[in-house]
Amino acid sequence: MPRPLGISSLQILAAVRDGSTYGLDIVARTGLPSGTVYPTLGRLRRHGQLRAHWEDQRQADREGRSRRRYYELTPEGEAALSVGMTRVEEAARALGLRDRKATG
Amino acid sequence: MNGRPSRRSLLYLRACGLLVPRYRRREWVEEWIGELEALSDARARGRKDTYPGTLGFLAGALPHALWTRREEWTMDGLMQDVRYGLRMIRRGPGFSLVAILTLALGIGANGAIFSLVNGVLLRPPPGVADPGRMVQIARSYDEAPRWDNWSWPAFKLIQSESDAMAGVEGFSGGSFLLGRGQDTELVPGEYVSGGYFRLLGVNPAVGRLLDPGDEVSPGGHPVVVLSHGLWQRRYGRDPEVVGQVLHVGGEPYEIVGVAPEEFVGVDAMGTPPELWVSAMQRQGSRGGSVLDRWGSSWFYVFGKLAPGVSLPEAEASMDRVTAGLRSAWEENRDIRALLAPGLGLTPEERAEGRRIFLLLGGIALMVLLLTCANVGNLFLARAATRETEMGIRQALGAGKTRLVRQLVTESVAMALAAALITVPLLSGAGTTLKALFPFSLAVPLAPDLRVYLFLVGVALLAGVLFGTAPALALARRDVAHTLREGASTGGRSRTRLRDTLVVGQLAISLGLVSGAALLGRSVLNASRADPGFDPDGVLVGFINLAASGRYEGQSLVDYQRRLVSALERIPGVETAALAGQAPILGGHARSTVAAADRPDDPRARFEAEYTVVTPGYFDALDVPLLQGRTLRPPEEEPERVVVVNETLARMFWPGQEAVGQELIGGEDRFRVVGVVGDVQMRSLRSPANPGVYYPFHQEEEPYVSIHLRTRGPAPSVISAMKAAVASVDPEVPVTGITDLRSGLSRSLSETRTFGIVVAVFAGLALALSVVGLYGLIAYGVSQRVREMGIRMALGAPGRQLVRLVLARGLVLSGFGLVLGLGVALAVGWALKGALFGVGAANPSALAGSAVLLLGSGLLAAWIPARRASRVDAAVSLRE
């Protein structure tokens, strides 16, 4: 059973949802260290929340570089992300973060 | 677009990649190179603010590689293997059940033996604080080394001279008569020195325990401490028990306290004591106190090392004790005080226990090996059906290590399941084995953490043992080859492995079967051996008059006379006699005698069997009179006379008439009036000792064994015996009633125990290996159906095919036989101490077992052979 997703996993899922397709892109968008991003990608993939595929070799050759591995969200991943977001929002409300923001 | 990573970065990535499992390594490195190129590109395009630096980015590769590796080997991966293993177990429940039950046999056998070893040899006596600092102190002699008890004066001397000890205390076991009138009972108990409980660190459950204040004046401390069991049984755990009066040996004693439940004394052998009284209360026989007598050794002494003193240092300090003992009493000239670590068992008992457990453990190990071979073979047979599956998994990228690991995980899971089902059986098996044992054990045998750890260890070992070979055989197969050929052909090497495993099983069974034959033969021999008397129809019971404390001198003689006449009146009793000891059963005693004509001749001086008897004794046991006469009733026997046995007569007066000679024993002289045949007093295994029989009325012997030669059925005589004893004195009970024949066969219980254990294991072993052989041959036949069909089509008669298959069974059994003869010789050699009248390499036992093995082997081959002969040529060719 996968544990409830942590903040960094949610950040990474959100980055993929918002169009980041490969590791470096996700590192840049989230600002997380690479030592966190790559293992987390592996774990999300193992739990079926992300799907990975290799870029077509011809495409890479055309651009004169090595192949990249692209990630995309699975339906499970989307579900996990929305559950996680709800949890984060609830936690934020419980901590009173929303209220302060509203009054401030 | 020219963001090629530097050589150094590539080198670093490849180095990190070495940590990644091989089958994922290429992908892993490729992904990182791609990412690194993208990073250089982006930075070259001047977007340095959103992208990390190359060094920082590359730093993440190492944790990623480590994570990948860990994921492979730990939680996720391993759980996956376990889940997969459990799925396989569920998918083939029949196969798994057989495998698990077979394994449970091997693992359970080892667990049961180990829980005995643990209880008897490894675990210190329960309820004792700091058992590791305890030492036993024993009496030995330079001339005749031994391990023996001490006299009271010697104990007091050791206590005052042992400066390396934090304390020296002691105890002595005895039987105590409890209560008065109707509710008297005889219970085991202990006389203890004052500091006994304090040195052992035992605290009372109720009231107080004995303390040094209870060891001041002889006979002056009528106080008693109850065991927890006695408190529960006799007083229903009444907390008001302290201060009540309990009659012990007819004297009123005050109950001062109750010992804690777990404390059962420190002696691992015998029945646990039910009460403790001060050693000051011990009465001497023949009047007088035993407390000031150097010559009377009855006290077991132990000590606790002083803080900071090591065992060798304590041993060295015993020299002072030895010197003190030697100068204290003239007969202590070559006495020596010895030390041994630990309590519970003396070094001799410990060595004996170790010998027995090594044997049983060896047998259990053989059973484990055999079951592993058997289950290994099952796995190998199944491997054929899983070859395609393994091939596909390999083709999909599973590494060979991973496959092997997964198969071994499956085997280990099965072995652990087997261990789990043995746990509830374990305490039962321990109790059974304990009951089978030749000595009684006071220690509890409930399995503890150590036993469970042992079980897990054995299960892991077994799982790896029987899992590795089939797994390797499977994984060695080439993927492409497997997929191309399907699973039709088993590898040649695997067939050879299966043959070897079956041969090994047959060899082990032969060893066990021949061991069982040797032991069975021994029990038979021993029950037929002539013990020197006729045990059939003789009933024996024991009376302890010392425990009642009421009989001495003339009153003792009167009691005995009244008892004999009461016993003789029982219908169905032919002869009634009393004696100080009963052959084999107990009450054994020895006393030194010498020929009066040459008292200094060492060949005419011996510590002979000391047996006091009433006149009817030799008739009751049917011991033949060889010369002279037997003993007569008191009024006809004013002189001090004895009867000697044949061995003593021959030893003391070779070639002469023994009748008319004189013996010296202690202060007294005795005239020999008769010579009787030898009786094996102590053991059926060893030759009879020289022995002397004394008239009952001339010696004061408070330990009495009743011997009745009967005609009638035993049960009615037993109750009549109890009634007769009660009619003489209702407060003196008779205990341990048994017939001499079953007593004799009990004395062979060590041999019998081994016999039963080995026979049970041998039977199971033979059955398992024959089934294994059958499976192997049947598999071979099923693989060769096509070939058989062709042979039939070409005109081979069915008989020839039968011969072909039988031959294979014979060859395998033959190899098993040759190897098994070696195993059988080793088993026989190891059992030597338990054998009776049969050699370790007994040809008929070996031949018999060999015939049994070959016969069962042929039978196992016969069934598939017949099937082969009925192969329908047309059908088999079409398939």
Domain boundary among the residues B725, B743, B761 is at B743
Mean pLDDT across chain B, nearest whole number?
83
Main-chain dihedrals φ then ψ at residue B551, nearest 5 degrees: -110, 125
Kindly state the tokens that stand for B640. 């001090």
| Residue B664 half-sphere exposure toward CB, CA atoms < 13 A | 12
Query: What number of residues does chain B have?
Result: 879
Domain that holds residue B570: 538-743
Give the gap in angstroms from C-alpha B456 to the nearest C-alpha of chain A: 28
DSSP SS3 for B440? coil
Q: Are B585 and B578 in contact (CB under 8 A)?
A: no
pLDDT value for B547: 67
Over range B608-615, report the average pLDDT: 89
Give the gap in angstroms from C-alpha A44 to the nearest C-alpha of chain B: 13
B160-164, B716-720, B815-819: range with lowest mean pLDDT:
B716-720
Residue B572 falls inside a structural domain: yes
Residue B213 falls inside a structural domain: yes
DSSP SS3 for B708? strand
pLDDT band at B833 (very low <50, low <70, confident <90, very high): confident
- Distance CA(B463)–CA(B417), nearest Å, equals 11
Residues B636 and B493 in one domain: no
What pTM did the predictor assign? 0.65
Between B115 and B479, name the one with better pLDDT: B115
pLDDT value for B205: 93
Q: Do A33 and B34 lie within an 8 Å CB cutoff?
A: no
- Give which of A12, A24, A46, A53 to mutate to test B binding, by max B Cβ within 10 Å: A24
The fraction of chain B above a pLDDT of 90, given in percent, is 23
Contacts of A79 (CB under 8 A, 6+ apart): none
Q: Is the pLDDT of residue B481 over 70?
A: no
Domain that holds residue A95: 7-103
Chain B residues within an 8 Å CB radius of A66:
30, 33-34, 37
**Predicted ipTM > 0.85:** no
Amino acid letter for position B636? E
Residues B402 and B437 in one domain: yes
Q: What is the pLDDT of residues B22-56, one digit of tens each?
A: 778 888 888 898 888 888 888 888 777 778 888 88
Between B828 and B393, name the one with better pLDDT: B828
pLDDT band at B818 (very low <50, low <70, confident <90, very high): very high
pLDDT band at A3 (very low <50, low <70, confident <90, very high): low
- Distance CA(B187)–CA(B326), nearest Å, equals 37
Chain B residue with the nearest C-alpha to that of A53: B31
Q: Is the pLDDT of residue B421 over 80?
A: yes
Residues B567 and B616 in one domain: yes
Burial class (CB within 10 angstroms; exposed 0-12, middle 13-18, buried 19+) of B125: buried
Total tally of structural domains belonging to chain B: 4
Q: What is the CA radius of gyration of chain A?
A: 16
Residues B465 and B552 in one domain: no
Residue B98 falls inside a structural domain: no
Domain boundary among the residues B343, B375, B401 is at B343
- Distance CA(B187)–CA(B544), nearest Å, equals 11
pLDDT value for A101: 43
Q: What is the CA radius of gyration of chain B?
A: 38
Chain B residues within an 8 Å CB radius of A20:
none
pLDDT value for B300: 92
Residues B328 and B379 in one domain: no
A87 touches chain B (CB under 8 A): no
- Give which of A22, A34, A54, A61 to mutate to test B binding, by max B Cβ within 10 Å: A34
pLDDT value for A93: 81
B383-392, B459-468, B680-689: range with lowest mean pLDDT:
B383-392
Chain B residues within an 8 Å CB radius of A53:
none
- Distance CA(B124)–CA(B135), nearest Å, equals 12
Place of tokens 């106190």: B289
Residues B559 and B705 in one domain: yes
Over range B713-740, report the average pLDDT: 82
Residue A1 falls inside a structural domain: no
pLDDT band at B772 (very low <50, low <70, confident <90, very high): confident
Residues B145 and B266 in one domain: yes
pLDDT value for B613: 92
pLDDT value for B155: 95
pLDDT band at B154 (very low <50, low <70, confident <90, very high): very high
Q: What is the pLDDT of residues B357-409, one digit of tens each?
A: 888 888 888 889 989 988 888 887 777 666 666 777 666 666 677 777 878 88
Over range B553-572, report the average pLDDT: 88
Residue B533 falls inside a structural domain: no
pLDDT band at A100 (very low <50, low <70, confident <90, very high): very low
Q: Do A24 and B51 lie within an 8 Å CB cutoff?
A: yes
Residue B624 falls inside a structural domain: yes
Q: Is the pLDDT of residue B478 over 70?
A: no
pLDDT value for B26: 86
Over range B614-638, report the average pLDDT: 90
Residues B282 and B336 in one domain: yes
Total tally of structural domains belonging to chain A: 1
Q: For residue A20, what is the domain's CATH number?
A: 1.10.10.10
Residue B790 falls inside a structural domain: yes
Q: What is the pLDDT of residues B82-102, one digit of tens each?
A: 666 666 666 667 778 888 888
Of A28, A39, A68, nearest to B50 by CB-CB distance is A28
Place of tokens 């083709």: B395
Q: Are B231 and B214 in contact (CB under 8 A)?
A: no
Strand partners, B691: B609
Main-chain dihedrals φ then ψ at residue B691, nearest 5 degrees: -140, 150
Q: Is the pLDDT of residue B718 over 80?
A: yes
Query: What number of residues does chain A have?
Result: 104
Of A25, A28, A39, nearest to B64 by CB-CB distance is A39
Q: Are A27 and A72 in contact (CB under 8 A)?
A: no
Place of tokens 């005693």: B589
Residues B137 and B197 in one domain: yes
Chain B residue with the nearest C-alpha to that of A24: B35
Question: Directed axis angle between helix B749-783 and helix B492-528, to 10°?
Answer: 150
Q: Do A34 and B57 lie within an 8 Å CB cutoff?
A: yes
Size of interface A-B (CB pairs under 8 A): 81
Question: What sign does the dihedral A7-A13-A15-A18 (CA atoms) show?
Answer: negative
pLDDT band at B228 (very low <50, low <70, confident <90, very high): very high
Burial class (CB within 10 angstroms; exposed 0-12, middle 13-18, buried 19+) of B234: middle
Residue B115 falls inside a structural domain: no
pLDDT band at B126 (very low <50, low <70, confident <90, very high): confident
Kindly state the tokens that stand for B412. 């280990």
- Distance CA(B283)–CA(B877), nearest Å, equals 95
pLDDT value for B74: 55
pLDDT band at A102 (very low <50, low <70, confident <90, very high): very low
pLDDT band at B765 (very low <50, low <70, confident <90, very high): confident
Residue A21 falls inside a structural domain: yes
Q: Is the pLDDT of residue B514 over 50?
A: yes
B7-11, B193-197, B475-479, B853-857: range with lowest mean pLDDT:
B475-479
Q: Is the pLDDT of residue B322 over 70?
A: yes
pLDDT value for B414: 87
Q: Is the pLDDT of residue B284 over 80?
A: no
Q: Is the pLDDT of residue A28 over 70?
A: yes
Residues B177 and B315 in one domain: yes
Residue B2 falls inside a structural domain: no
Give the gap in angstroms from C-alpha B31 to the nearest C-alpha of chain A: 6
Q: Are B252 and B513 in contact (CB under 8 A)?
A: no
pLDDT value for B435: 65
pLDDT value for B67: 85
Between B625 and B116, name the one with better pLDDT: B625
Residues B788 and B733 in one domain: no
pLDDT value for B589: 77
Give the gap in angstroms from C-alpha B79 to the nearest C-alpha of chain A: 11
Chain A stretch 10-69, residues whose beta carbon is closer than 8 A to a beta carbon of chain B: 22-25, 27-29, 33-39, 42-43, 46, 55, 60, 63-69
Chain B residue with the nearest C-alpha to that of A26: B51
Q: Is the pLDDT of residue B666 over 90?
A: no
Residues B191 and B290 in one domain: yes
Of A24, A27, A66, nearest to B30 by CB-CB distance is A66
Kindly state the tokens that stand for B224. 């008693």
